[in-house]
Amino acid sequence: MQSKMRISQLNMMELLKDPKYEGFLDEFRCKQFAKGQLISVPGSDNNDVFIVVSGRTRVYLSYEGREFTLCYLEPGDIFSTHTRAFVEASKESALMLVSAKEFRTKINEYPEFSMIMTRILGDVLGSTFDIIDGLIFHDAKHRLIGFILSWGQETGKMCPEGLKFECDLSMEDIALMIGTTRQTASSLFNNLIRNGYLIREGRNTFVISRLADLKSLLEIKDN
Amino acid sequence: MQSKMRISQLNMMELLKDPKYEGFLDEFRCKQFAKGQLISVPGSDNNDVFIVVSGRTRVYLSYEGREFTLCYLEPGDIFSTHTRAFVEASKESALMLVSAKEFRTKINEYPEFSMIMTRILGDVLGSTFDIIDGLIFHDAKHRLIGFILSWGQETGKMCPEGLKFECDLSMEDIALMIGTTRQTASSLFNNLIRNGYLIREGRNTFVISRLADLKSLLEIKDN
């Protein structure tokens, strides 16, 4: 199941600190985006590669007013404005951008970087396969549990009550990731709380209190 | 809409004929697969990169006996055995394989090749976005029309009756690509024939007789 928490485990900002990449970011330009501002829309002439420096951006598909979130990009993630997806700043965000053409020149100058790009693209591809798997073979409940488990396991810490994690996404945000309505996501979520799998400790703090049981729910056939 | 006809426009076998890639294929080994034989299964220890030399292979997801075809690989296509997808020979096929480790060494030796890999991975990623878009926002009829149009436009030729193309996929094959049952795919397909959008000229020969009208069906909101 996709985490959608990070498109890749690789953090560009960390990687590019390596002295061998000195000068790599020289031609990148910085740009701030306000919360809610669109960074790129499909079909535009923009063809930039960008790295998220701070904030969070959302990559999503849209059709006739409906939306589906493919992933969130966090600091250190790299992506392109030249896809069929929309990208918007879901928090105030700072990006470093460079034209795709310039980026190709960069890769030629720093050939080791190409392996990183291949790995990242492979990671992203893997997570889109996960999304397709979830949509084709599973229901919204299964996808919600998959999302909670991956978010918890990637960001949480074990404590006496269970696996504690922070999640500042709204129910609407989660619904758009698992391909259902806010109402359905909310009712499925409350159901997990009511059945003791999940505890809400604060506005954005959750504890998976029955981790093994929650995992085993993924093995039960969807209705 | 995804074509699923080719994962990428780039033909490896053609590209690698360029004298600058002399020696690139040296460590690759050839292997034949009979029709129906599995080439790779998710979770196996195999981690190879392969190029299809002849035949056709199918890349698909599977869960509890159900399947969904992500794409077909044709001669010149490159892919990996190390994904969550199954790969099977849908015709008798010959592949050239090399370990992912050796492939990385190759890319270091032939740095120009890394741009090609980036482009191919970008193409594949684009087509998975198309698949997700189709699954989330459209119905099986829309996906079938998208498939027919892309197959026709990529492989067909204009003739007095319309856009003529060959397609040797079975109705089952098509159903597995558009995420529906064989019965539904068959009934949607016959409906297009009955309404004069499509003519079946022979077992594997079709003519899109009302190309503009068929395209315009994609603009009509799904029911």
Interface predicted TM-score of the whole assembly (ipTM), two decimals: 0.91
Residue numbers in B near A133 (CB within 8 A): 61, 63, 68, 84
Phi, psi of B142, rounded to the nearest 5 degrees: -60, -45
Q: What is the amino acid identity at position B24?
A: F
Please name the residues in contact with A72: beta carbons below 8 A apart, sequence gap of 6 or more.
A4, A5, A56, A57, A58, A59, A90
pLDDT value, residue B46? 86
Tokens representing A150 are 């991956």
Are A83 and B126 an interchain contact pair (Cβ–Cβ within 8 Å)? yes
Residue of A104, A135, A138 with shortest CB distance to B135:
A135
Number of neighbouring beta carbons within 10 Å of residue A17: 10
For chain B, helix, strand, coil in percent to 5 are 40, 25, 35
Q: What is the amino acid identity at position A84?
A: R
pLDDT value, residue B122? 87
What share of chain A in percent tops pLDDT 90?
79
pLDDT at residue A111 greater than cutoff 50: yes
Complete DSSP assignment for B119-172: HHHHHHHHHHHHHHHHHHH--HHHHHHHHHHHHHHHH-EEETTEEEEE----HH
Chain B interface includes A179 (CB < 8 A): yes
Tens digits of residue pLDDT in A165-211: 999 999 999 999 999 999 999 999 999 999 999 999 999 999 999 99
Cβ-Cβ pairs closer than 8 A, A with B, add up to 110
pLDDT value, residue B59? 96
Which of A129, A139, A181 is most worth mutating to test chain B (most B CB atoms within 10 A of its CB)? A129
Nearest CA in chain A to B79: A122
Give mean pLDDT, residues B34-51.
94
Which of A84, A139, A178 is most worth mutating to test chain B (most B CB atoms within 10 A of its CB)? A84
Are B80 and A126 an interchain contact pair (Cβ–Cβ within 8 Å)? no
pLDDT at residue A1 greater than cutoff 80: no
Which of B84, B102, B123 is most worth mutating to test chain A (most A CB atoms within 10 A of its CB)? B84
Q: Output B113 or B191, whichever has higher pLDDT.
A: B191
Residue numbers in B near A85 (CB within 8 A): 129
pLDDT value, residue A115? 83
**Contact present, B70 and B101 (Cβ < 8 Å):** no
* Model pTM above 0.90: yes
User: Which of B116, B210, B109 is closest to B163 using CA atoms?
Assistant: B210
Nearest CA in chain B to A113: B114
pLDDT at residue B5 greater than cutoff 70: no
Phi-psi region of B163 (alpha: psi -120 to 50; beta: other; left: phi over 0): beta
Give mean pLDDT, residues A55-73.
95
Residue of A111, A124, A135 with shortest CB distance to B111:
A111
Chain B interface includes A20 (CB < 8 A): no
